[in-house]
Structure 1
Amino acid sequence: MHKRARFILAAFSLLSSTAAELQLPSKDSGSSQGTHGRLHLPMTRKLIPKRLTLSANTGVAGLGDFFDVTYSVLITIGGTSLPVVLDTGSADLWVLSNICQGTCASANTNTNTNTALYAPSTFHDTGVDATLVYGDSKTGTYARGVIGYDAVSLAGLTLQDQYFAAINDTNTSVVQTRCSGILGLGFPFDSVIWTDMFLSQRQVSRRRSFHPMRRNYANRWFDKSILGIPSSRYTDRSMPQQKRQTMTTSAIISSFGVSGPFIARLVSLGGLALPMFVIALQRDTIEIGGNEGMLSIGGLPPGVQNESLTWVPVRKYTLQQEGLTQDDSPEVPVDPPAQAYPIAWEIPVDDVFLDGMKLPRSQLSSSNISLSALIDTGNSLIRGPPDVISYIQDMLGGPRFACSLPHTLAFQIGGRMFPVDPRDLINQVRSGNTQVCGANLAQTDVPVLGGGGYLYSWSLGDPFLKGVLAAFYYGSFTGPSQDPPRIGFLSTVPSDAGIRLEEAVSAASAEQYDLPG
């Protein structure tokens, strides 16, 4: 593999910004505890991020790119600098502790990566364990550890007493990608750590069957009856009525500012100019360029206008879908009634196309489930229904095909086509001296109507995200119907992407280089 790794330092500044300038709704003024500025971090093409000194208002920082399959950001926990994977598909922050044993410890030794580990000298152990599950029923990756809190900083944005998990056992691949953990950017309601702490702080007996080791991640239940929220799954609730009434939706939402995920907690505390972050992933293989990889927090990046993005709503889960709705406690007014809340960065998809032809819908799930997709930076592939993925592979001529034949997989979102760059759709598979490629596609679990879990059919990972700028807008946690969550997309795939793939394959062949595998 021919790969160039470059270290580019990029200065950022905390720029003041208003909602009017960005033409986005202002945050709920009732939740504001002071407004900070907007943070813009250009990506660096560097395998291992390096921390540099930050001042109060300006500084420089680097974000990592490991072979275009893992993208990381540098955080500081209790004085230790740790590169963590940016993951919009989960909602929890965890890092490997220096007491990590088993798989993660041996992987660190075998790969000689010298991965930074968290030394819990300033760690406040809550005594509550956490088991976090990733992937789907075919992957079954996990991380186990202890929940605690410490000061956490991201490029000058600091929160004291931030809850996270110090991991002592995992089979994830973070070590192999030279990272120390995962920074989940999802909604608090999807956070294992928040749920466990919410229950622990209210001295509620934890239902151990809720989180631990659910192998079918795509169909994981959202059994919030353990929070005292009425659940359609259970008619007889063991929790006394008086106890349930004290755990209202308003109490749940207010807890986000105490034990919620890092970015969501900043949003809850009014610490950002706007409740949003923006990600664009660069490509550092095949052809240097594509997006200028970057992370912006609190607003759109410089030069990007709100009206240039295609905005689509984030799915909100109702009570019947095992989600969270506005409680019916008489002490809390319901306005509007039956208000639903988001769980994950899941959006509606109009249709899916291959080389301009609309693909059939999956026959493996109910036609009553609307087509949707999870937007997941922590996923290095595009995952979809098994029957549709098999259909695509047949259309491509099988699981292996010539690298020089460009194909375009496109998702119609909000009435607009968002193609996957042909250079990001493929990966090379060794086959003697012949350049043979496969598609960066994988089968995943299908949603089940009434199953009480995620309803998305597709998980759009890095191959899709390297061809867009994606803006993730949390909206209002207290009033999602008035200021709803949404995602904005701006395609960055050039019109001649197929020609560029052919040129890249030809150049690699002439120089006897492999395409990225």
Structure 2
Amino acid sequence: MMRSFITLSFVSSLCSTLSVLALRIPFDAHVQTPASNPTIHSPRQSSSNGIVPIGNTQNIFYYTNITLGGQNISVMLDTGSSDLWVSGTVSGATDTGSSLKLSYAVGTAAGDIYTAPFELAGQSVSDQAFLLVTNVSSFSTNIHANGYDGLIGLGPNSGSSIYKKLSGKSGNNPINRIFEQTSSSNDYITMMLSRKGDPGSNITGQFTVGEVVPGFENITSMPQLLIEKVYKVTNVDQHWQIVSDKNKGIIGPDGQPIQYSSIVPKAPDGTIVGVLDSGFTLPQVPRSVSDAIYGRVQGAEWSASSQAWLIPCGQLINVTFNFGGVSYPIHPLDVSSSDFEVTFSNGNPACLGTFQPVTSAFSLLGEYDMILGMAFMRNTYTLINYGNFINGGSSSNNPYVQLLPLTNIESAVNDFIQVRLNGQNTINSPQYALLPASQGQHSPESASEKKKAYEELVLSRWPYILVGCLVFLTLIISYCIWRCCCRRKRMAKKAAKKAAQQKGGVASVGGFKSGPYAQLNGSQSTTSLVMQPMRGSAVDFEEDHGGKDAFARSR
């Protein structure tokens, strides 16, 4: 195998690294927990076996209950990763003899891999593999105080580190195990996230396996957004990537499409690729997109410490995403957040712009442009069909996502007025008018970001570089073979000519052999001259005179 600028083994190992440093971050690195302890709400019990409630901690973490080894454990729901880990102890668990370390932006989950009976939403697995983390002191946040004691990854099985550690189906992640043992075609999960602090919302957090939340059945009639698949060699970086509508993927605060050129080589022109990730508190978008959303707000400030925009809390901002020809407006309470207790440089209270420029989670392989985290997913009822992503499953269908809009714009504006403006409708006041585009601010791009952008430009094109190198190598080899063949032919001709010269050094009698010394046409050889008597000799003279000796003396 030839060596290219990027070898396949390098790409594979790079993907493994990126999957940990990028999307396997269930908490945003720049989010600061509010000073006051958030109120913890345990998930409600559900009357349906296939539906379980989702708890909500200050719109920052979403969690539900699983049963592992016969005990209930609260775990965070993360569609951006693919492994199950829990802290503490699990009775009756079986040690597999393997260990694993998972790195997150806020700490490290390390320990041994065990198996134990597992249950979720009425589905069970007899020997589910999981990582048992005995020490969570490395985490910068108290996960138990935030409502959970572990994490369940709901991403594709190919991204599971446990799956790569263990041989056999026992290493598959929980959702894969559930669907591989059923013959049903309902290989999907659904997720609905609640919004705390929204007086007009009647949405409650619910998670389902293989069924739809009653009252929201029309989600199955929404467009099927096919998952944008990554190359097989980089499938560790496979997530729930979907492609926006062309030329109108994101509609900004001024009602106009935000222009952006995707870094994903396979993405059609004018589109943008996003990953659905319930583990990210703040959606991660390209810096130019974040600037287009917040840069024209009067009084907006860029916060270097939070790596996000700060805006006045009374500023209503409209943002809409378009997928499959359907518009998904974002609730203005989700476009900026008052949950983080941030302040402007002058000390006055501010709200945090939730659509944060993507930095640490930037895709060096160009697999996606943005990460649609909780602030986006609160505005949709999400159905994820795993299709042929199920390892050992029976479905041959491509995986897809269906999104049902949950936000009504008129109601959302009324909610914002009640919460942020104390019921006083001042959203059209001059102080909240957007600045002209020419006066818009731009957040600073660091040197490391510029370096990443350059690296992505090269690394994301590795298939094309590899093909180009293969073509170049093929041409070089073909040229070498052609040269060798030509040389052998010339040498063969020289050898034949030399042999002919050696054999034809002296011509044969009668001129039957040709060579360097072949006789001239019409001439006689030396041998012929020797064998023939000369004219005018005594013999000739005697014949001419009747046999008499011309010199005889007369008698």
Instruction: Tell me which residue corresponds to 1:346.
Output: 241
Instruction: Tell me which residue corresponds to 1:305.
Output: 218
Matched letter for residue 400 of structure 2 = R
Instruction: Tell me which residue corresponds to 1:159.
Output: 125
Matched letter for residue 322 of structure 1 = T
Contact 1:283 1:290 in 2 (8 A): no
Instruction: Tell me which residue corresponds to 2:14.
Output: none
Higher strand share: 1
Q: How far off its partner does 1:169 sit?
A: 4.1
Instruction: Tell me which residue corresponds to 1:394.
Output: 295
- Which of 142, 145, 150 matches 1:181? 150
CA distance in 1, matches of 2:93, 2:228: 36
Contact 1:374 1:459 in 2 (8 A): yes
When the two structures are superposed, what TM-score results if normalisation uses the length of structure 2? 0.59
Matched letter for residue 404 of structure 1 = G
Q: How does 1:207-226 map to 2 (within 5 A)?
A: none
Q: Secondary structure at the match of 2:207?
A: strand
Check if 1:11 corresponds to 2:46: yes
CA distance in 1, matches of 2:55, 2:256: 36
Contact 2:97 2:113 in 1 (8 A): yes
CA distance in 2, matches of 1:9, 1:124: 30
Q: Secondary structure at the match of 2:384?
A: strand
Instruction: Tell me which residue corresponds to 2:331.
Output: 421
Q: How far off its partner does 1:488 sit?
A: 0.3
Instruction: Tell me which residue corresponds to 1:106.
Output: none
Instruction: Tell me which residue corresponds to 1:501.
Output: 416
Contact 1:386 1:444 in 2 (8 A): yes
CA distance in 1, matches of 2:294, 2:241: 25
CA distance in 1, matches of 2:110, 2:324: 38
CA deviations on 1:370-412 (whole Å, 9 max, x unpaired) are 5211101111111112333234331334222222221122221
Contact 1:362 1:385 in 2 (8 A): no
Q: From the superposition, tell whether residues 348 and 133 of structure 1 become closer, same or farther in structure 2 (CA, over 3 Å).
A: farther
Contact 1:369 1:455 in 2 (8 A): no
CA deviations on 1:286-310 (whole Å, 9 max, x unpaired) are 4262423211111222231355423
Q: From the superposition, tell whether residues 5 and 193 of structure 1 become closer, same or farther in structure 2 (CA, over 3 Å).
A: closer
CA distance in 2, matches of 1:72, 1:479: 27
Q: Which moved more, 1:456-465 or 1:147-156?
A: 147-156
Contact 1:266 1:272 in 2 (8 A): no
Q: From the superposition, tell whether residues 424 and 285 of structure 1 become closer, same or farther in structure 2 (CA, over 3 Å).
A: same
Q: From the superposition, tell whether residues 156 and 420 of structure 1 become closer, same or farther in structure 2 (CA, over 3 Å).
A: same
CA distance in 2, matches of 1:129, 1:178: 26
CA distance in 2, matches of 1:346, 1:480: 22
RMSD: 3.2
Q: Secondary structure at the match of 2:176?
A: helix
Matched letter for residue 311 of structure 2 = F
CA distance in 1, matches of 2:226, 2:294: 30
Q: Secondary structure at the match of 2:199?
A: coil
Q: How far off its partner does 1:317 sit?
A: 2.1
CA distance in 2, matches of 1:509, 1:125: 60
Q: How far off its partner does 1:258 sit?
A: 2.9
CA distance in 2, matches of 1:508, 1:94: 44
CA distance in 2, matches of 1:509, 1:435: 19
CA deviations on 1:63-91 (whole Å, 9 max, x unpaired) are 42111211111112112221000111111
CA deviations on 1:43-102 (whole Å, 9 max, x unpaired) are 3xxxxxxxxxxxxxxxxxxx42111211111112112221000111111100012xxxxx
Instruction: Tell me which residue corresponds to 1:24.
Output: none
Instruction: Tell me which residue corresponds to 1:192.
Output: 161
Q: From the superposition, tell whether residues 316 and 3 of structure 1 become closer, same or farther in structure 2 (CA, over 3 Å).
A: closer
- Which of 67, 76, 85 matches 1:85? 76
Matched letter for residue 426 of structure 1 = S
Matched letter for residue 80 of structure 1 = Q
Q: How does 1:22-421 map to 2 (within 5 A)?
A: 39-41=50-52, 43=53, 63-97=54-88, 119-134=89-104, 139=105, 141-170=107-136, 171-172=138-139, 173=141, 174-198=143-167, 255=168, 257-270=169-182, 274-287=186-199, 289-303=201-215, 304-319=217-232, 322-323=234-235, 343-350=238-245, 351-355=249-253, 356-361=255-260, 365=263, 369=267, 371-397=272-298, 398=300, 399-421=309-331
Contact 1:84 1:179 in 2 (8 A): yes
Matched letter for residue 185 of structure 1 = L
Q: How far off its partner does 1:141 sit?
A: 4.2
Instruction: Tell me which residue corresponds to 2:402.
Output: 488
Instruction: Tell me which residue corresponds to 1:436.
Output: 350
CA deviations on 1:344-389 (whole Å, 9 max, x unpaired) are 11111222221222112158x4666552111011111111123332
CA distance in 2, matches of 1:142, 1:485: 31
| Structure 2 gap segments, 5+ residues each | 1-35, 301-308, 426-555
CA deviations on 1:188-207 (whole Å, 9 max, x unpaired) are 10101111113xxxxxxxxx
Instruction: Tell me which residue corresponds to 1:108.
Output: none
Matched letter for residue 456 of structure 1 = Y
CA distance in 2, matches of 1:175, 1:275: 31
Q: How far off its partner does 1:322 sit?
A: 2.7
CA distance in 2, matches of 1:156, 1:416: 32
Q: From the superposition, tell whether residues 121 and 4 of structure 1 become closer, same or farther in structure 2 (CA, over 3 Å).
A: closer
| Structure 1 gap segments, 5+ residues each | 15-38, 44-62, 98-118, 199-254, 325-341, 511-517
Contact 2:55 2:205 in 1 (8 A): no
CA distance in 2, matches of 1:282, 1:415: 25
Q: Secondary structure at the match of 2:166?
A: helix
Q: From the superposition, tell whether residues 472 and 402 of structure 1 become closer, same or farther in structure 2 (CA, over 3 Å).
A: same
Contact 1:129 1:145 in 2 (8 A): yes
CA distance in 2, matches of 1:188, 1:8: 26
| Percent identity of paired positions between Structure 1 and Structure 2 | 21
When the two structures are superposed, what TM-score results if normalisation uses the length of structure 1? 0.63
Contact 1:276 1:472 in 2 (8 A): yes
